[in-house]
């Protein structure tokens, strides 16, 4: 392929990368996801993490994911093993919880809210 083609591709990628922060600022309401709060752990540097097992019907490829917890107060009323609803964002290269709360379990073959 010609150099002009690759220059056009590079320009398009540069424009897309430059406009990404503006697109994030106009994000619609966050989507909540259901999961089971399996465990939490703290790294030696003081960062707190939780492991959440996502429900089978979620459209995320991995069933258990790790999320950073920026504030310990988020986990104050959430016991391990409980069913939760949470929202997250990708911050500084890590999946980071923005909110989490305990909810009632979904009943099999019943719609969840």
Q: What's residue 68's pLDDT?
A: 94
**Domains in the chain, ordered, with CATH?**
33-102 (2.40.50.120)
Question: pTM here?
Answer: 0.67
Instruction: Kindly state the average pLDDT of the residues 67-75.
Output: 93
List Cβ<8 Å contacts ≥24 apart for 82-86: 82/36, 82/37, 83/34, 83/35, 83/36, 83/37, 84/34, 84/35, 84/36, 84/37, 84/52, 85/32, 85/33, 85/34, 86/32, 86/33, 86/35, 86/52
Q: What's residue 39's pLDDT?
A: 94
Does 65 or 109 have the greater pLDDT score?
65
Helices (H), the chain: 3-25
Q: Label residue 60 by pLDDT band (50, 70, 90).
A: low
- Pairing relation of β-strands 48-54 and 33-42? antiparallel
């Amino acid at each position: 392929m010609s150099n002009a083609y690759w220059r056009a591709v590079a320009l398009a990628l540069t424009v897309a990368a430059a406009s990404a922060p503006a697109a994030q600022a106009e994000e619609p309401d966050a989507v909540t996801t259901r999961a089971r709060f399996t465990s939490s752990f703290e790294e030696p540097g003081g960062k707190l993490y939780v492991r959440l097992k996502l429900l089978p019907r979620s459209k995320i490829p991995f069933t258990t994911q790790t999320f950073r917890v920026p504030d310990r107060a988020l986990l104050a009323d959430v016991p391990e093993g409980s069913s939760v609803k949470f929202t997250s964002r990708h911050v500084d290269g890590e999946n980071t919880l923005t909110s989490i709360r305990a909810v009632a379990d979904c009943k099999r073959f019943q719609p969840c809210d």
